[in-house]
Structure 1
């Protein structure tokens, strides 16, 4: 799925959480190249290495965050990210928290946190907070009950 080339639609800002534990150095570069080419990359964090959460019989993850702008609406952009995962060889197996080439999740949309993983997991929050600091952005981060 390619993004529209004209920017007549309003642009949305999106924080994306990236995670990989199958050849993560390779897939991080690939994901960054695709997203940089197809979206407007505004900022990104350094990658951090983290222990797996949930299913433990797997390698550590590399995690990072990106800030991009897109003319797509949120659900269309979510579908776009799933398509990028597929292009990078993502296999969705029986173990939801199992190994993956790339996991791309929307953490915040237009300044509002929409993924409670931001509040629950340092591997999400730390990279997003790094991007917030470097980009001068703020989030409405009231924990949802």
Structure 2
């Protein structure tokens, strides 16, 4: 079994429900076992700023899937939620699932880099991930808690 950490986000439609449904779908993948879910956060958009705020979360799941197989399953969950990948980066989306880290794997593939190379820049990833694994050490990036302390998370709001 591989422990995988996934970042989830949405800013179109019923974002809260889309993120919660995606968590359920990830936990229900063949052979998967849930490990933990973060709380939900409202966060400002990244990259393209003229769009609605996001709902973000993170989760950990143990899975027998290899990273690229898990990536394909995550893309299927996005498509089922109405996500259309049209090449636009950082734009609005019904659902965005990012494979952030899989314990025991460092990967540099054209489709997937592990750990995710921009975790340290993104409060919307670090805040929820810190709830699950503050002491998680990522290759060439450091500990989650230390990375979180180095970014501005003041515009991120915990949702009730």
Structure 1: tracts of 5 or more residues without a match: 1-10
Tell me the matched-pair count: 131
CA distance in 2, matches of 1:43, 1:111: 18
Q: Does 1:129 align with 2:122?
A: no
Quote the residue 1:73 is aligned against. Answer: 66
Deviations 1:78-125 (A, max 9, x none): 111111111111012342111111111111111666112211111111
Q: Does 1:143 align with 2:136?
A: no
Cα distance change on mapping 1:96 and 1:66 into 2, 3 Å:
same
CA distance in 2, matches of 1:140, 1:91: 30
Per the TM alignment, residue 16 of structure 1 is displaced from its structure 2 partner at its CA by: 0.2
CA distance in 2, matches of 1:110, 1:143: 14
Deviations 1:23-44 (A, max 9, x none): 2012012212212222311001
Residue pair 1:111, 1:138 contacting (<8 A) in 2 also? no
Superposed CA RMSD: 1.9
TM-score normalized by the length of structure 1: 0.82
Residue pair 1:111, 1:139 contacting (<8 A) in 2 also? no
Residue pair 1:19, 1:104 contacting (<8 A) in 2 also? yes
Cα distance change on mapping 1:132 and 1:52 into 2, 3 Å:
same
SS of 1:16's equivalent in the other structure is strand
Structure 2: tracts of 5 or more residues without a match: 106-113, 143-160
TM-score normalized by the length of structure 2: 0.75
Quote the residue 1:105 is aligned against. Answer: 98
CA distance in 2, matches of 1:140, 1:111: 10
